[in-house]
Amino acid sequence: MAGKTLKAAVIGFPVSHSLSPAIHNHWIKQYELQGFYDARKVPPEHLKESLLRLMEEGYTGFNVTIPHKQSVMALCDELDDTARAIGAVNTLAAGGDGSFRGYNTDACGFIENIRDAAPGFDFAAGAALVIGAGGAARAAVYGLQRAGAKEIRIANRTHGHAEKLARDFGAEAAPCGTGAAGLKDVALLVNTTPLGMKGQPPLGFDASILPPGAVVCDIVYSPLETQLLKDAAGRGLKTIDGLGMLLHQAARAFEIWTGIRPEITVELREKLVKMTA
Q: Does 69 participate in catalysis according to the annotation?
A: yes
Catalytic residue among 29, 41, 48, 69: 69
Q: Per-residue confidence at 117, pLDDT binned at 50, 70, 90? A: very high
What does residue 202 show for φ and ψ, rounded to 5 degrees?
-70, 160
Q: Which pairs with CB-CB distance under 8 Å and at least 24 residues apart come from 67-70?
A: 67/12, 67/13, 68/11, 68/12, 68/13, 68/42, 68/44, 69/135, 70/135
Would you say domain 5-104+244-276 falls under CATH 3.40.50.10860?
yes
Sheet hosting strand 61-64, strand order edge to edge: 34-41, 5-12, 61-64, 91-94, 100-103, 78-79
**Residue 233 in this model has a pLDDT that exceeds 90:** yes
Of residues 211 and 181, the one with the higher pLDDT is: 211
Q: Which CATH class is domain 107-241?
A: alpha beta
Three-state secondary-structure class, residue 108:
helix
Which residues are within 8 A (CB) of 55 and not within 5 positions of it... i.e. 6 or more apart? Answer: 94, 98
Residue spans per domain, the chain: 5-104+244-276, 107-241
pTM of the model: 0.94
How confident is the model at residue 4, as a pLDDT? 86
For the ranges 32-36, 178-182, 209-213, 232-236, the lowest mean pLDDT is seen at 178-182
On the question of a common fold for 5-104+244-276 and 107-241, the answer reads: yes
Tens-digit pLDDT profile for residues 83-110: 999 999 999 999 988 899 999 999 999 9
Q: Give the rounded distance of the alpha carbon of 36 from its chain centre.
A: 22
